[in-house]
Amino acid sequence: MELFLQFLGTLRETLKIFFKNGKLMASITLIALVLNSLLYLVQFFSIKILIGDSFKEQNLVLVSTPGSPEFTNVLIYFIPEFTNALIHSKQDLGTFIGVQWTYLAINSIFSLFLSTLTILGSAVIHEANDSITFKNLILKSLRSWKRTFVTLFYTIVGFSSMFFLFIFPLSLGVKTTTSYTFYAILVAIPFLISYLQMGIVWTLALVISVLEEICGLEAIRKAAQIVEGMKINGFLLNLVFTIIFSVVIQCIRWTGIPQPTEPFKLLIGYLVINSISCLVRTVWLVAYTLFYYQCKKTHGEEVDSQKSVEYSKIATKAPLLIGENIP
């Protein structure tokens, strides 16, 4: 019961963050919407639409991060259909992959920057640091970007390893459609359970990489330590935002999308999709920033005491990264 109340408290505090400093959060949200829309427009006009549905689905893949709610929904709903669409479009596959890898690289850079900016902004508001300006916040986000990138790299490696560990056996020894479906369901259940649990640690590690001077495996290890006893809260956070993304995605599937012969309607529809995803992702990152503070308050001192004296000094100085001393 106490954990559930803490979870509700996190949601309440998340909403309060947007009202405590509405100007700062509005600026962060606006820059996220503008950059995401510009990136999408570049992609939209740089590729040939192969199949309407697959075009929509691959966009949701490319704006997602392993461990995030929207990525969970992609795994559940879209990957089988998207893979099938690509298999039936071999003539355009080479060009498609080349363009999408380029877009993925650029999108990942901007996505990391926006995530860092959102996390830092949330922390500034949470700690009532009114002295920092939006310009300084952007500069500090750029300086923290390298740590976040290193952690994301290890997160992707971890997800890829787990994915192939569970999924690769599907291509071995399964000859009939019935047995393939049965085996896929049998493998998908433990995979999704493991993924949801690891997603908590991966996301928390990204927050730690922004707010503290650690990154990569060290940030992931610390996230795994401080989340002990708080995993239910993290799971509920992921569950709530996964449901929200799921509702958005289902609405898209129910209403349908314009045909590729209607490019203007198609463009507007996808811009709306990206904007909604961006807004929900912003709220999700704010919630996880507050969740980090909860974990820190509950287990932070215990975790730090297990480290060396040198690490303890770094951990003690971690909150200062919210101010003017971010490297």
The least confident of 23-37, 158-172, 305-319 is: 305-319
Could you give the CA distance from residue 131 to residue 201 in angstroms, rounded to a whole number? Answer: 31
Prediction pTM value: 0.72
Could you give the CA distance from residue 69 to residue 81 in angstroms, rounded to a whole number? Answer: 19
Radius of gyration of the chain (CA): 20
Q: How many residues does the chain have?
A: 327
Could you give the CA distance from residue 298 to residue 324 in angstroms, rounded to a whole number? Answer: 26
Average pLDDT over residues 278-307: 77
Separation of first and last alpha carbons in the chain = 40
Cα 112 to Cα 104, 117, 138, 214, 252: the distances in Å are: 12, 8, 12, 16, 26
Q: What is the pLDDT of residue 308?
A: 38
Cα 113 to Cα 86, 140, 141, 245, 277: the distances in Å are: 30, 10, 6, 22, 16
Q: What is the pLDDT of residue 40?
A: 76
171 confidence band (pLDDT: 50, 70, 90): low
Judge whether 115 and 206 are in contact, CB under 8 Å: yes
- The more confidently predicted of residues 90 and 164 is 164
The least confident of 67-76, 125-134, 158-167 is: 67-76
The least confident of 38-52, 93-107, 133-147 is: 38-52
Could you give the CA distance from residue 308 to residue 66 in angstroms, rounded to a whole number? Answer: 31
High-pLDDT (> 70) share of the chain, %:
62
Average pLDDT over residues 1-15: 80
305 confidence band (pLDDT: 50, 70, 90): very low
Judge whether 231 and 281 are in contact, CB under 8 Å: no
> pLDDT tens digit string along 194-204?
777 788 998 99
The least confident of 229-243, 278-292, 296-310 is: 296-310
High-pLDDT (> 90) share of the chain, %:
13
Here the contacts of 169-178 (C-beta below 8 Å, separation 24 or greater) are none
Residue 151, H or E segment: helix 134-167
User: How confident is the prediction for the chain on average, in pLDDT?
Assistant: 73
4 confidence band (pLDDT: 50, 70, 90): confident
Could you give the CA distance from residue 302 to residue 300 in angstroms, rounded to a whole number? Answer: 5
Could you give the CA distance from residue 11 to residue 87 in angstroms, rounded to a whole number? Answer: 42
Dihedral sign from CA coordinates of 225, 226, 230, 231: negative
Dihedral sign from CA coordinates of 18, 14, 109, 325: positive
Average pLDDT over residues 30-45: 81
> pLDDT tens digit string along 80-108?
554 455 445 444 556 666 666 777 778 78
The least confident of 65-74, 172-181, 316-325 is: 316-325
